[in-house]
């Protein structure tokens, strides 16, 4: 029997998921949470096999909850279930320790299959997420090629990678532990080496 905690700030979603999972052989919903704080508390108390976690919740986000659970409750596998399938959300969740990532558009059958997969120690990713991961891999290859072709430094390549993920200057600075001014300097150097004047032109050059 796979024990599951469901964490989502929308009551209708929690109730719907609980109903579906409770009717599924081999799955037992042992608790539900409306925010990240409740989710962490329930996992620490119930020690479920799987936490089904929404990312964007009040009081404490799913990303923050993931980070804490990765330290204190490593036995629980975390499966992100959210409406967001953008590259930044996916990257942040996986970096924080998510074992799988699916969207609410994937449907009940895939959600159940994903729960079973992560409980068994495997990764589980929805259709949209898989497409983004494949796209990110291709983008990474293009970035490496651009770095070699245009003589980009290692830090400039990191900045370009973060730009391609949709991060703004402040977010890039936080990610690299540098000042916004330093990020702007790297971007200016990037633009000069690539022969472009904007982020959009830089990304178009990489995808051409």
25-29, 124-128, 139-143: which is most confident: 25-29
- Residue 100 pairs in a beta bridge with 79, 124
pLDDT, tens digit, for every residue of 77-108? Answer: 999 999 988 777 887 888 888 999 999 888 89
State the span(s) of the chain assigned CATH 1.10.10.10: 131-207
Token code pair at residue 31? 């608790």
DSSP state of 30: E
Query: Would you tell me which CATH number, out of the four given (3.90.1150.10, 3.40.50.300, 3.40.50.2300, 3.20.20.140), belongs to the domain 2-125?
Result: 3.40.50.2300
């Amino acid at each position: 029997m796979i024990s599951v905690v469901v964490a989502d700030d929308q009551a209708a979603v929690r109730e719907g998921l609980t109903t579906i999972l409770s009717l599924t052989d081999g799955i037992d919903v042992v608790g539900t949470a409306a925010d990240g704080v409740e989710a962490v508390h329930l996992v620490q108390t119930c020690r479920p096999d799987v936490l089904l976690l929404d990312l964007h919740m009040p009081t404490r986000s799913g990303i923050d909850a993931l980070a804490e659970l990765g330290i204190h409750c490593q036995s629980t596998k975390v499966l992100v279930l959210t409406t967001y399938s953008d590259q930044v959300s996916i990257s942040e969740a996986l970096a924080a320790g998510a074992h799988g990532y699916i969207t609410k558009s994937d449907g009940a059958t895939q959600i159940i299959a994903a729960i079973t997969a992560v409980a068994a120690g495997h990764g589980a990713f929805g259709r949209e997420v898989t497409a983004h991961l494949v796209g990110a891999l291709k983008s990474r290859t293009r970035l490496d090629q651009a770095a070699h072709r245009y003589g980009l430094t290692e830090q400039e390549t990191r900045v370009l990678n973060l730009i391609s993920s949709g991060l703004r200057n402040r977010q890039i600075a936080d990610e690299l532990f540098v000042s916004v001014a330093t990020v702007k300097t790297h971007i200016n150097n990037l633009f000069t080496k690539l022969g472009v004047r904007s982020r959009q032109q830089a990304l178009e050059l990489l995808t051409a």
